[in-house]
Amino acid sequence: MNDEVIYLDHAAATPIDAKVLAAMQPFFADDFYNPSAPYAPAVKTRREYEAAKQLLARTIGAKSDDLVITAGATESINLAFASVSGHVVSSSIEHHAVLAAAKLHDVTFVEPDKKGIVSADKIKAAITPKTQLVSIALANNELGTIQPIRDIAEVIRKERERRLLAGDHTPLYLHSDASQGVGQLDVNVARLGIDLLTLNAAKVYGPKQVGLLWAAPLVVLQPTIVGGGQERGLRSGTENVAGTVGFAKALELANDHRKFEADRLQKLRDKLQKQLVDAFPEAVLSGNLKHRLAGHLHISFPNLDAERVLFALENRGVLVATGSACAANKGTRSHVLTAIGLAPEVADGSLRITLGHLSNDESIAKAGTILVEEITKEYARSTR
């Protein structure tokens, strides 16, 4: 990346950490063997693959046997939804992958509150005796709002208990896509109380096209890709050894530095937020400010054209998003901002600023100055 660039879109993509790439390197041209081959070097490659899966499992407090390595969060989400055929419950502010997978089922989308929180009570009200899956992201990818997954898990637990006592064997699982939160939040599956977990290496300084789906032992997964029977028959195809080793290293690093990094990013984010709110008192902060990812800042400048600001910022080397990358690409207003009831003239002036490894005191101070200058200019232009 150009040294002049100040990257503030860590929620969309992250660069591979040098330590992660170093861990992957041996598997490109040296230990390149097919892990299913019988000779010793391939058996060693398989062992390194299994060790990487064990490391991944350990960092989420799970067993390696309950992981399926996939080509990313979208595939994991599709695999999670394929485990059920009945009614599903999700929220209207989920990532497009969850929305699309949910729509293949009979689905109820719960609305969030004005701060983007999906309450356990609303989930409870949406669950019917036929509901088989509830899917809520740990943290919303646009707002950074952290959802009350433990409370939702408790609702699920009680409904399961009710069904058990009633002799009703309809399964009910809780799935959470924690791709967006994994660098800054605890993703221990037992503490979260979930049954299915999706993670994505590309959001945590690991390689692209690697993800995992963890499923509790009682969950019966149905493969979406059949073939050679890899991953216990749940996801066929030659194993991605380099990618999985890189993913494990990335998750281990995230785990080791989570507290430190979250504190660091929160301080930087709060400083930038204060600078912008002080300069533009009319600015609207979205999301739940108490329960929010440390590096996330969603801020709207009423009556401003965020896309114009984005390009003005880009000209000065500051890269931010107007919404999630997928939605932005389609030129439509964010479904998340619509769902939390942001007025169109506020929503259209929204920037999503997400800090991460590439952020430091200097770059954030410089970005703050440039943001204030460019937004001031744009306000001046638009009110002329």
The catalytic residues are: 326
Residue from 30, 65, 263, 345 binding a second copy (CB under 8 A)? 30
- Comparing CA positions, the residue from 168, 164, 242, 198 lying closest to residue 62 is 198
Q: Does 367 bind a second copy (CB under 8 A)?
A: no
Q: Are 214 and 197 contacting, i.e. CB atoms less than 8 angstroms apart?
A: yes
CA distance 249 to 21: 9
CA 12 to chain centroid, in Å, comes to: 9
- Comparing CA positions, the residue from 253, 259, 261, 260 lying closest to residue 23 is 253
Relative orientation angle of helices 241-279 and 361-382, to the nearest 10 degrees: 50
CB of 327 to a second copy, least distance (A): 9
Show the CA angle centred on residue 212, arms to residues 206 and 213, nearest 5°: 155
Cα-Cα end-to-end distance for the chain: 37
CA distance 324 to 351: 10
Cβ closest to a second copy, residue 147 vs residue 240: 240
Q: Does 257 bind a second copy (CB under 8 A)?
A: no
Residue from 85, 238, 332, 376 binding a second copy (CB under 8 A)? 238
All residues at 6 or more sequence positions from 256 whose CB lies less than 8 Å from its CB, including other chains: none
Helices (H), 220-305: 241-279
Give the amino acid at 74: T
CB of 51 to a second copy, least distance (A): 17
Q: Is 334 left (phi over 0), alpha (psi -120 to 50) or beta?
A: beta
Q: Does 3 bind a second copy (CB under 8 A)?
A: no
CB of 29 to a second copy, least distance (A): 4
Q: Which three-class secondary structure state does DSSP give residue 146?
A: strand
Q: Does 141 bind a second copy (CB under 8 A)?
A: no
Q: Does 22 bind a second copy (CB under 8 A)?
A: no
Cβ closest to a second copy, residue 124 vs residue 352: 352
Q: Does 253 bind a second copy (CB under 8 A)?
A: no
Instruction: Retrieve residue 323's tokens.
Output: 């919404």
Residue from 165, 169, 290, 329 binding a second copy (CB under 8 A)? 329
Q: Does 284 bind a second copy (CB under 8 A)?
A: no
CB of 125 to a second copy, least distance (A): 27
Cβ closest to a second copy, residue 13 vs residue 125: 13
Residue from 72, 112, 183, 368 binding a second copy (CB under 8 A)? 72
The DSSP symbol for 94 reads S
- Comparing CA positions, the residue from 363, 383, 378 lying closest to residue 306 is 378
Residue from 62, 66, 68, 78 binding a second copy (CB under 8 A)? 78
Q: Does 29 bind a second copy (CB under 8 A)?
A: yes
Residue from 217, 228, 341, 344 binding a second copy (CB under 8 A)? 228
Q: Are 221 and 83 contacting, i.e. CB atoms less than 8 angstroms apart?
A: yes
Cβ closest to a second copy, residue 245 vs residue 346: 245
Cβ closest to a second copy, residue 329 vs residue 383: 329
Only segment of 155-163, 183-191, 203-211, 333-341 that touches a second copy (CB under 8 A): 203-211
Pairing relationship of beta strands 350-354 and 296-300 according to DSSP bridges: antiparallel
Instruction: Retrieve residue 301's tokens.
Output: 């400048």
Residue from 19, 208, 267, 335 binding a second copy (CB under 8 A)? 208
Q: CA distances (Å), 367 to each of 2, 30, 127, 305, 364, in order? A: 15, 42, 45, 19, 5
Cβ closest to a second copy, residue 29 vs residue 380: 29
The footprint of a second copy on residues 285-324 (CB under 8 A) is 307, 310-311, 314, 319-322
Q: Are 140 and 312 contacting, i.e. CB atoms less than 8 angstroms apart?
A: no
Q: Does 270 bind a second copy (CB under 8 A)?
A: no
Residue from 262, 284, 328, 365 binding a second copy (CB under 8 A)? 328
CB of 13 to a second copy, least distance (A): 4
Cβ closest to a second copy, residue 46 vs residue 267: 46
Q: Does 135 bind a second copy (CB under 8 A)?
A: no
